Amino acid sequence: MQRVKRNDTVRVISGKDAGKEGRVVRVLPSRQRVMVEGVNRVTKHKRVQQTRRGAQEGGITHEEAPIHISNVMPVCPKCGAPTRVGARVIDGKKHRVCRKCDSEF
């Protein structure tokens, strides 16, 4: 079971963006990485290329890059604190549970 899923609110616990909170935009389980809104923004230089209408696009853009999943902690929606995630079986289905306040995610 995944500990961090898309649209979860997470807090960055280490790295250059430590302490920032954001929403998970994308999860890359094979690479053990997540993309968080407004976190780990990198500068990309885009080459000037002509479009079909003849316009030229290019320049410097800023976008989010993936961050390792071990550097983020999910924030519990009930208690509002970053917490570890547990699992509980209810009616034959696994549910994610906050380890601090024992509520479901």
Residue-wise pLDDT for 1-36, tens only, equals 689 999 999 999 999 999 999 999 999 999 999 999
What phi and psi, each to the nearest 5 degrees, are found at residue 15?
Answer: 105, -170
3-state helix, strand, coil in the chain (%, to 5): 5, 50, 45
Q: Which domains does the chain have, with CATH numbers?
A: 9-46+61-98 (2.30.30.30)
Q: How far is CA 47 from CA 18, 52, 63, in A?
A: 32, 16, 16
For the question of whether the overall pTM of this predicted structure is more than 0.85, the answer is no
pLDDT for the residue numbered 1: 67
The one-letter amino acid at 92: G
Q: pLDDT averaged over the chain?
A: 93
